[in-house]
Structure 1
Amino acid sequence: MDTRGVVDRYYELANAGDWNPWCDLFAVDTVMDEQLAGHVEGRETLRGMMRGFPDMYAEFANKPVHVVIDGEQAAVVSHITGRTHGGVEIEAEVCNYFRIVGGEIVYMANFHDSAPFAPVFGK
């Protein structure tokens, strides 16, 4: 899969809440700098984190607004909408940066306003 295909699949699976195949998009030794979760190393670490995601959110969507692809790199500006099981509404703008090699995400970082997530993460 080329860079655009991986990026499109990333959002397709995230919006379907299909987290196990979503994790499979990442390289075994992937590195992620996630604004709320911090520095994450390894696909299986990420998979373990994502097992708890459905327990946090009753509804979740991350819809791309603008996508830029440059070879093995991509940047996506998107909008997150979510609702926790406790009824907390989340609305946030986000930018994800991807580096994709051999059809796998080897590095990802995201940047967003963390204030909307404070009720969920207690920060």
Structure 2
Amino acid sequence: MDARDILDSYYRYANAGDWDRWCDLFADDMVMDEQLAGHIEGAATLRSMMSGMGEMYASFQNNPRHFLVDGEQAAVVSRIVAESAAGEPIEAQVMNYFRITDGKITYMSNYHDTAPFGVLK
């Protein structure tokens, strides 16, 4: 898969709630700087963390708006529309940055307004 295929899969799997296949897109030694969850290292840590996603949200959609792919680097502007497990609406604009090496995401960071996610506390 090329970088664009990986990114398309990233959003397709997230929107389907297929967190196992979503985690498969990451390299074993991946690093993520996630604005809410913090610094994450290793695919095993990520997989364990993502196992609870279905319990945090009644619904979750991360809809990509713009893609910019330049070799092994990419940026995606997207919009999250979700509902917390308690039924609170969540909407946020997002910017994700990716590094993709040998068909796997090796680094990812995201940036968004954290205020809408306060309902998860």
Q: Would the TM-score normalized by the shorter structure come out above 0.5?
A: yes
What SS does the corresponding residue of 2:49 show, helix, strand or coil?
helix
After TM superposition, which residue ranges in structure 1, 4 or more long, deviate above 4 angstroms? none
Alpha-carbon distance in structure 1 between the residues aligned to 2:22 and 2:85: 22
* SS of structure 2 residue aligned to 1:78: strand
TM-score relative to the length of structure 2:
0.99
SS at 1:86's partner residue? coil
Q: Who is 2:57 aligned against?
A: 57
Residue in structure 1 matched with residue 88 of structure 2 by the alignment: 88
TM-score of the aligned structures, taking structure 1 as reference length: 0.97
Report the CA distance between 1:28 and its aligned residue: 0.2
Which segments of 5 or more consecutive residues in structure 1 lack a partner in the other structure? none
CA separation in 2, counterparts of 1:74 and 1:9?
14
Offset at residue 85 of structure 1 (A): 2.0
Q: Which amino acid aligns with 2:110?
A: N
Corresponding position of 2:32: 32
Q: Distance in 1 between matches of 2:86 and 2:35?
A: 23
Per-residue CA deviation, residues 2-48 of structure 1 (Å, 9 max, x unaligned), is 11110010001000000001000000000000000000000010000
The share of aligned pairs that are identical, in percent, is: 60
Q: 2:7 maps to what in 1?
A: 7
Alignment partners' CA distance in 1, 2:85 and 2:117? 14
